[in-house]
């Protein structure tokens, strides 16, 4: 009887210890088979403690987990998904990303192109944060739930291969705003042309700290837009007077 009771207690204590270990956010070599801690997302950025104070979508294809209320975050993890096809939050709804360090093409469910991760951090004396970009050799499990009003719930366990072993693990809610919808966003040619004009004026591609893969992606997008035929103005082809109508008929 004593042996049975002792075995039960050992089993209970072992289970509790395992649960405590799982809930503690730490850097790991591989997180694909590790449960995501059910705690507010936190970790370390470049050796400094990090807590997600705000999760937001920048445009339709970028998730930012940030700490700090200024224009530039004090510390942040930014994930580029590269699929700007739906309104804010819709294409991420219900998606799961699983990435192993040894994967050359990270596994995505469903199949979507490889995310790029950028870690930014402030250094004393610098007004603008420094950044590091990761396309491979990181490990990540990222899950999104279903849109509820203006909130998109998410869970993440991300570990980067930098020397400081930066990571973030836990839960967060993305504020997607009142315009979130699963309805596809229909872009017309005038919308493309307006975007192209404004983007070229912004000078984004001239920034020295822009990651190479992001620069290439944006450059390719601009080339694609440049190859689109200009939007025709149908009214300019219509006769403006009766005499013009007669000449047109002749």
Q: Are residues 200 and 127 in the same domain?
A: no
Residues 6+ apart with CB under 8 A from 74: 66, 67, 68, 121, 122, 129
Residue 150 in tokens: 């203006």
Residue 247 falls inside a structural domain: no
- Whose tokens are 């040619």? That residue is 189
Residue 69 falls inside a structural domain: yes
Residue 241 falls inside a structural domain: no
Tell me the average pLDDT across 34-54: 95
Separation in Å, CA 106 to CA 7, 57, 84, 112: 42, 22, 19, 10
Q: Are residues 211 and 132 in the same domain?
A: no
Q: Are residues 120 and 61 in the same domain?
A: yes
pLDDT band at 231 (very low <50, low <70, confident <90, very high): very low
Residue 236 falls inside a structural domain: no
Q: Are residues 112 and 206 in the same domain?
A: no
Q: Are residues 192 and 151 in the same domain?
A: no
241 pairs with which residues across the strands?
none
Q: Are residues 40 and 100 in the same domain?
A: yes
pLDDT band at 143 (very low <50, low <70, confident <90, very high): very high
Residue 180 falls inside a structural domain: no
Among 8-12, 94-98, 206-210, name the one with the lowest average pLDDT.
Answer: 8-12
Residue 211 falls inside a structural domain: yes
Residue 122 falls inside a structural domain: yes
> For residues 72 and 118, what is the distance between their CA atoms, to the nearest angstrom?
14
Q: Are residues 68 and 112 in the same domain?
A: yes
Handedness of CA 59, 65, 71, 73 (dihedral sign): negative
118 pairs with which residues across the strands?
78, 133
Q: Are residues 164 and 75 in the same domain?
A: yes
Q: Helix-strand-coil percent breakdown of the chain, rounded to 5?
A: 25, 30, 45
Position 99 scores a pLDDT of 87
- Give, in degrees to the nearest 5, the angle at Cα 44 between 21 and 80: 110
Residue 42 in tokens: 């936190």
Q: Are residues 202 and 124 in the same domain?
A: no
68: left (phi over 0), alpha (psi -120 to 50) or beta: left
Q: Are residues 97 and 211 in the same domain?
A: no
Position 71 scores a pLDDT of 84
Segment 145-193, tens digit of pLDDT: 998 888 999 999 999 999 999 999 999 999 886 544 443 334 444 455 6
Residues 6+ apart with CB under 8 A from 70: none
Q: Are residues 195 and 169 in the same domain?
A: no
**148 class by beta-carbon count within 10 Å (0-12 exposed, 13-18 middle, 19+ buried):** exposed
Q: Are residues 45 and 71 in the same domain?
A: yes
Range(s) of the domain holding residue 216? 187-229
Domain count across the chain: 2
Position 60 scores a pLDDT of 61
pLDDT band at 24 (very low <50, low <70, confident <90, very high): confident
In the DSSP assignment, the letter for residue 38 is S
Residue 235 in tokens: 């009214």
Residue 217 falls inside a structural domain: yes
């Amino acid at each position: 009887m004593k042996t049975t009771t002792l075995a039960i207690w050992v089993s209970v204590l072992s289970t509790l210890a395992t649960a405590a270990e799982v809930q503690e956010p730490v850097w790991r070599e591989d997180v694909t088979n590790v449960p995501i801690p059910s705690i507010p997302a936190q970790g370390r950025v470049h050796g400094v403690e990090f807590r997600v104070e705000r999760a937001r979508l920048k445009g339709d294809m970028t998730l930012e987990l940030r700490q700090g209320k200024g224009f530039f975050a004090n510390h942040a993890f930014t994930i580029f998904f590269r699929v700007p096809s739906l309104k804010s939050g819709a294409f991420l709804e219900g998606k799961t990303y699983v990435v192993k360090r040894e994967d050359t093409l990270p596994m995505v469910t469903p199949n979507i192109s490889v995310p790029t991760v950028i870690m930014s951090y402030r250094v004393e004396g610098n007004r603008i944060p420094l950044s590091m970009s990761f396309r491979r050799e990181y490990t990540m499990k990222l899950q999104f739930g279903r849109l509820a009003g203006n909130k998109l719930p998410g869970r993440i366990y991300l570990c980067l291969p930098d020397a400081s072993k930066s990571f973030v693990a836990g839960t967060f809610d993305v504020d997607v705003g009142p315009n979130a919808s699963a309805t596809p966003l229909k872009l017309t040619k005038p919308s493309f042309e307006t975007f192209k004009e404004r983007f070229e004026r912004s000078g984004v591609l001239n920034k020295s700290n822009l990651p190479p893969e992001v620069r290439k992606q944006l450059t390719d997008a601009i080339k694609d837009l440049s190859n689109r035929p200009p939007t025709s103005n149908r009214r300019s082809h219509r006769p403006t007077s009766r005499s013009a109508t007669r000449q047109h008929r002749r």
